[in-house]
Amino acid sequence: MGAGLRESLRELAECSLPAALEAMGERWSFLILRGSFNGLHHFEEFQSELGIARNILANRLARLVEHGILARQPCPGDRRKIEYRLTDKGYALLPTMVALRQWGERWETGVRATPVLVDARDRKPIAPVTVRSHDGRVLGKGDLLWAVPEDIDEEPEAKAAE
Amino acid sequence: MGAGLRESLRELAECSLPAALEAMGERWSFLILRGSFNGLHHFEEFQSELGIARNILANRLARLVEHGILARQPCPGDRRKIEYRLTDKGYALLPTMVALRQWGERWETGVRATPVLVDARDRKPIAPVTVRSHDGRVLGKGDLLWAVPEDIDEEPEAKAAE
């Protein structure tokens, strides 16, 4: 590991992950978020489906709204009621959620979790989430490097020409 | 949402995610795991790079070993020293880690985190992690459904013929 890279590792604590983790690393926040992906929108739904205490639910929903992951809005059918919907930022957590779920299925429980996420077009289960190169090749253990900015090949013209 | 799906949501609390979350949902466990992906192997390295208290570090390393995510083994060069290496199960968390990191870069910090994960072959930054269909199409917000097992199209012969 070069000196530059070692230097960069020092900055890990300030990098982008802890913010993401704060948003979804806590057990209840995570279960609420997963409920949102699975179609729950109302306080009462979360409460009864997840069996979560009302004060904890209220607190976690407020934090997810504060983080811009859920939006609190009046129900279209009955404007006195409130619903919680995933924002674009919240929806962007989908690959993370799916990857984590698939990992749990493969390495922890050993069985496929239900409900199953399928392609709406053909109702076939989605593929495993993978890490890929800029041109779409699946990258495995030996195919990846951590690099400092000086070591990265990034000519936009080369990328555009491919 | 059909009755079958609603029934399945009841099982959420026992599904595969909490196990995965227990393994990496805690802040320090997550930072240690990320350090492992970034090339840290020794107690002293984790300690100095992450600035983590020794008792917390010892506790979290033990839990990651217990979960089978890290393996504790003698150092090849000096067998009195111990090193911590990602197991296959641990390494399989890569897509989750990368997806979460990319989300943080895009939605939280707004800047690319260093070090940057690149393809060893061409040193170009990897692509965003996405959810794809079984045949490789990138699936977006309107392309996905949650389905109960009865609603899934899963004839192995159809899959093999594609």
Same domain, A78 and A151: no
Whether the Cβ atoms of residue B102 and residue B129 lie closer than 8 Å to each other: yes
Give residue B152's pLDDT.
84
Chain B residues touching residue A94 (CB < 8 angstroms): 131, 144
Same domain, A72 and A100: no
pLDDT at residue B160 is higher than 60: no
Average pLDDT over residues A104-129: 88
Average pLDDT over residues A8-17: 49
> Does B66 lie at the interface with A, CB-CB under 8 angstroms?
no
Average pLDDT over residues A24-51: 86
pLDDT at residue A6 is higher than 50: no
Contact B131 A132 (CB under 8 A): no
Question: Does the bond joining A156 to the residue before it have cis omega, within 30 degrees of 0?
Answer: no
**Surface of B (100-129) touching A: CB under 8 A:** 100-101, 103-109, 111, 113-129
Same domain, A80 and A56: yes
Same domain, B44 and B87: yes
Give residue B4's pLDDT.
46
Number of domains in chain B: 2
Give residue B140's pLDDT.
86
> Does A50 lie at the interface with B, CB-CB under 8 angstroms?
yes
pLDDT at residue A34 is higher than 70: yes
pLDDT at residue A104 is higher than 90: no
> Does A61 lie at the interface with B, CB-CB under 8 angstroms?
no
Chain B residues touching residue A149 (CB < 8 angstroms): 114, 116
Give residue B79's pLDDT.
85
Looking only at the bridges linking them, the beta strands covering B70-74 and B82-86 are antiparallel
Distance to chain A for B103, nearest Cα, Å: 7
Average pLDDT over residues A137-157: 80
pLDDT at residue A158 is higher than 50: no
- As a whole-number percent, the residues of chain B with pLDDT over 70 amount to 80
Q: Is residue B5 part of a domain?
A: no
State the residue range of the domain holding A17.
10-92
Same domain, B143 and B100: yes
Contact A126 B119 (CB under 8 A): no
Q: Is residue B2 part of a domain?
A: no
In a mutational test of the A interface, the residue from B44, B94, B101, B151 whose CB has the highest number of chain A CBs within 10 Å is B94
Q: Mark which of A62, A92, A122 sits at the end of a domain.
A: A92
Compute the half-sphere exposure of residue A60: CA atoms within 13 Å on the CB side of its CA.
Answer: 25
> Does A1 lie at the interface with B, CB-CB under 8 angstroms?
yes
Same domain, B39 and B87: yes
Q: What is the pLDDT of residues A62-97, one digit of tens each?
A: 999 998 999 999 988 888 889 999 999 999 999 998
Whether the Cβ atoms of residue B117 and residue B126 lie closer than 8 Å to each other: yes
User: For the complex shown, is ipTM > 0.90?
Assistant: no
pTM, two decimals, is 0.81
Same domain, A144 and A122: yes
Q: Is residue B1 part of a domain?
A: no
**Three-state SS annotation for B55-114:** HHHHHHHHHHHHCCCEEEEECCCCCCCEEEEECHHHHCCHHHHHHHHHHHHHHHHCCCCC
Burial class of B79 by CB neighbour count within 10 A (0 to 12, 13 to 18, 19+): exposed
Average pLDDT over residues A51-59: 93
Contact A104 B30 (CB under 8 A): no
Average pLDDT over residues A28-57: 90
> Does A30 lie at the interface with B, CB-CB under 8 angstroms?
yes
Q: What is the pLDDT of residues B95-130, one digit of tens each?
A: 998 998 898 889 888 888 777 889 999 999 999 999
Contact A12 B1 (CB under 8 A): no
Contact B127 A121 (CB under 8 A): no
Give residue A155's pLDDT.
58
- CATH number of the domain at A64, please: 1.10.10.10
Q: Mark which of B73, B92, B111 sits at the end of a domain.
A: B92
Average pLDDT over residues A104-122: 86
